[in-house]
Amino acid sequence: MARIPAAERRAELVTAAVRTIAAHGVDGATTRRIAQEANAPLATLHYCFATKEALFAAVFEHVAGQYREVLTRNDVHSDVATTARALLRGLMEWYLANPEFGAAIVELISWAQRQEGMQAEMVYHEAFATMRPILQAAATAAGQSIDPNALDELTYIVSVLSDGFALNWLSADRTTAKPHIEVVLGVLDAWMTANLGDLSKPPTQPSKASPEEAMSSLVSWVRME
């Protein structure tokens, strides 16, 4: 049997930990269960991670990395409003496609808040540090001026709405989750309209046609044969 590289084995154990936490909670995610889920000897787990705390630290890094990847993947390089909608939709669809991840994140954040470390805050700081520059770049590229405080609030609202959707979906009928994506996006639209004004709409491109050309085009379009 071929020997599995240590880095690959560590990655397998981390993803196995995510699945185990989703199924049994943090307290039920024993090293033995995690090793069994990864189809690895318990000794291998202890070789890769000296302590359970070290394993969980790697899990938090993995969660933060996945969050960054989802945000980056859903950056549509458009105006502020379109980009914010794309980021929120991407996060919600990611939660739907990865139910174990959503359940594990809820468990991990709840557990981390009871600990002395800053692991829960790290996940949110990483998300903010990824999302805000994406939105700022969208505004800059589209020639839109947005107040830094409003940008912070927009970043926050996208995060809150996606987290709320994920938490609600975990305790609700899954068949209703997909239509609720549009409902949540509507909430974001309402917030952007109230707080960003014209920035909530894509910037219009000035027409290059002369008034005479525009009128001729309109007449042609409505002409009855």
DSSP state letters, 183-222 = HHHHHHHHHHHHHHGGGGSPPPPPP-S-HHHHHHHHHHHH
Predicted local confidence at residue 112, as pLDDT = 81
133 pLDDT exceeds 60? yes
What is the average pLDDT value for the chain, to the nearest integer?
A: 84
- Of the pLDDT bands very low, low, confident and very high (cuts 50, 70, 90), residue 217 is very low
More confident site: 224 or 58: 58
CA 185 to chain centre: 14
Assigned CATH for 1-50: 1.10.10.60
pLDDT in tens, 136-183: 999 999 999 999 999 999 999 999 999 889 888 776 666 778 888 999
125 pLDDT exceeds 90? no
Between the alpha carbon of residue 58 and those of residues 41, 51, 149, the distances in Å are: 19, 11, 33
**Rounded Cα–Cα distance for residues 134 and 137 (Å):** 5
Q: Is the dihedral of CA 90, 92, 97, 99 positive or negative?
A: positive
Predicted local confidence at residue 183, as pLDDT = 93
pTM (2 d.p.): 0.80
In the chain, list all ranges with CATH 1.10.357: 60-200
Residue tagged 């709320």 (tokens) = 164
Predicted local confidence at residue 131, as pLDDT = 96
pLDDT in tens, 13-28: 999 999 999 999 999 9
Predicted local confidence at residue 206, as pLDDT = 41
DSSP state of 2: P
Assigned CATH for 60-200: 1.10.357
**Max CA distance (Å), the chain:** 83
Between the alpha carbon of residue 153 and those of residues 92, 126, 132, 159, 166, the distances in Å are: 19, 16, 10, 10, 20
DSSP string computed for 18-75: HHHHHHHHHHH--HHHHHHHTT--HHHHHHH-SSHHHHHHHHHHHHHHHHHHHHHHT-
**Rounded Cα–Cα distance for residues 94 and 67 (Å):** 9
Predicted local confidence at residue 49, as pLDDT = 95
Average pLDDT value for residue range 105-133: 82
pLDDT in tens, 70-85: 999 999 999 999 999 9
In the chain, list all ranges with CATH 1.10.10.60: 1-50
